[in-house]
């Protein structure tokens, strides 16, 4: 199947999942039962650069953890939606609230619960280690894996398209 090249120019919003996208997808627990997540600092820097360029950044995730809220706050991501069961509806409402056309939005996911959101936006992206059905549905598949620079790769492509 040949995939149409994504149009990075004109992307005004980057929306992403967390586990498997901003993180490596692993769940780490301490002996006390605390959950740990590993975030890539270069992904974070890419998100800061996007925000500085006036591009909306948002998180839409099925899980609910204080770690995600903390990381989003560190990066200046104001739109954080946790505990989401219908990512497509959440992405649609978020874009409408900000006046961003779905065709001008990018969503990055890795698993089947991301498919509805991928289908809403103009540029659906799968991380390199996403499940096969998500990679097939995406307009672009990153070279980097989730939590290992995939978001920075997308940020750089969006920023290059904006120039």
CA of residue 113 relative to chain centroid, distance: 13
List the pLDDT tens digit at each of the 163 positions of the chain.
445 667 899 999 999 999 999 999 988 899 998 888 899 999 999 999 999 999 999 999 999 999 999 999 999 998 999 999 999 999 999 999 999 999 999 999 999 999 999 999 999 999 999 999 999 999 999 999 999 999 999 999 999 986 5
Architecture of domain 13-162: 3-Layer(aba) Sandwich (3.40)
At residue 73, the pLDDT reads 96
Q: Is 33 exposed, middle or buried (0-12, 13-18, 19+ CB in 10 A)?
A: exposed
At residue 2, the pLDDT reads 44
Q: Where are the domains of the chain?
A: 13-162
Closest C-alpha to 77, from 39, 114, 104: 39
At residue 4, the pLDDT reads 61
* Cβ-contact 46, 16 below 8 angstroms: no
Q: How many Å apart are CA 40 and CA 106, to the nearest integer?
A: 20
């Amino acid at each position: 199947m040949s995939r149409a090249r994504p149009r990075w120019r004109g992307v005004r919003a980057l929306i992403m999942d967390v586990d498997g996208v901003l993180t490596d997808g692993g769940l780490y627990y301490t002996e006390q039962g605390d959950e740990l997540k590993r975030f890539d600092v270069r992904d974070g820097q890419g998100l800061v650069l996007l925000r500085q360029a006036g591009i909306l950044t948002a998180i839409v995730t099925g899980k609910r953890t204080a770690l995600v809220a903390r990381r989003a706050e560190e990066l200046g991501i104001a739109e954080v939606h946790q505990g989401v069961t219908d990512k497509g509806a959440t992405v649609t409402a978020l874009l409408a609230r900000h006046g961003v056309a779905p065709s001008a939005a990018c969503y990055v996911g890795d698993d089947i619960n991301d498919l509805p959101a991928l289908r809403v936006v103009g540029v659906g992206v799968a991380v390199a280690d996403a499940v096969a059905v998500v990679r097939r549905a995406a307009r672009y598949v990153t070279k980097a894996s989730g939590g290992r620079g995939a978001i920075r790769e997308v940020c750089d492509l969006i920023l290059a398209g904006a120039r």
